[in-house]
Amino acid sequence: MSQSHATFDALVQWARMPERQEDVVAARAEYSHLAGEVFEEDRQLDLRLSGFLEFYLCDRVAPWAGQTPARARYLEALQSGDAEQASRWRAWTETWHGLFEVTGMDRAGVRLRSLSSQSAVVVSERRTLHGLSVGDVLEARLIPMGDSLAFSSAWVWHPHAAAPLIIAEAERRRRAGEPERELMFDCARRSLKADRYRQIAIEKIYDFGQR
C-alpha cells in the first residue's frame, strides 16, 4: 500500500467516528444525487465508494468541522506539533479533482491534459491501467506527493467513443465560464448509464443536448 493510500485510510477512520455517522449518511445521499446512485450489481460499485469517501473528506464542507474533514485533520496535526504527520494530511487538502484527457503513457507515467485549465501534467503510475488508452477521458483525483503527482484510488473511466463528445462539451462550457464540477458529475451519471444499458449507443448516452 502506498503512503498516500495508507494516510487516506487513516483519515477515513478519523472522519467516520460514530458521532459523525449521521453526517456520513447525509453526505452519501448528496454524493449519490450528484454522481448517480450505485447498486450492488453495478461494476463501478467499489470505485464509486472510493469516490464518495474522497468527496466526503476532500471536497465537502462538514457541518461538524466548518471545513473539509481533510483540512480539519491537517490543522489538528499542525496544532499538535506533528509536522511530519501534518504534511501527509496536507496533501489531501491540495488534491486536484477533475476531468482529464490521456495524452500519453510511458515509463515516466501517465500524461494528462486538464479539460478545464488545459494544463499538461504527468502522473507517476507504476500499475498497469487495464483498459486505459491514449485519447481516453477520465475523472480522476491527483494527489501531490513531493515534486510529483499520484492517482487516488477513485476513478470514473468513460468509454473511448465518448471522449470527443466530452472534450467538445468541456470546451463549450469552459468558454461559457461554467464550472467543471457540473460537467464532471453529469458525465459520472452518464457513465453509469453506459455500463447498465449496453444496447444504447454511447453517442446517444453522451449527447449533452439531452439532459
Which tens digits make up the pLDDT trace of 70-79? 999 999 988 8
| 17 and 108 part of one domain | no
123 and 29 assigned to the same domain: no
Higher pLDDT, 196 or 210: 196
Clarify whether residues 66 and 116 are in a common domain: no
pLDDT beyond 60 at 44: yes
Residue from 34, 65, 39, 64 nearest 52 by CA = 34
Task: Count structural domains, the chain.
Answer: 2
Q: What are phi and psi of 62, to 5 degrees?
A: -85, 130
51 confidence band (pLDDT: 50, 70, 90): very high
The single-letter DSSP state of residue 124 is B
Q: For residues 51 and 38, is the Cβ–Cβ distance under 8 A?
A: no
The reply to whether 74 and 109 lie within a common domain is no
**128-148: average pLDDT:** 89
CB 187 within 8 A of CB 211: no
Domain identity same for 43 and 83: yes
What is the predicted pLDDT for the residue at 132? 86
State which of 91, 106, 124 marks the end of a domain. Answer: 91
In this structure, the answer to whether residues 107 and 86 fall within a common structural domain is no
Instruction: State whether 55 and 118 are in the same domain.
Output: no
Is 29 found in the same domain as 49?
yes
pLDDT for position 2: 63
pLDDT at 128: 64
Residue 130, number of CB atoms within 10 A of its CB: 5
Residue range 179-198: average pLDDT? 96
pLDDT mean over 146-170 = 94
| Residue ranges making up the domain that contains 78 | 3-91
Regarding whether 123 and 79 lie in a shared domain, the answer is no
The reported pLDDT for the residue numbered 87 is 87
Phi, psi of 135 (to 5 degrees): 100, -15
- 138 and 168 part of one domain: yes
Q: 185 and 121, same structural domain?
A: yes
Q: Which of 44-53, 83-92, 138-147 has the lowest mean pLDDT?
A: 83-92
Measure the CA–CA gap between 153 and 97, rounded to whole angstroms: 12
Domain match, 130 and 201 both: yes
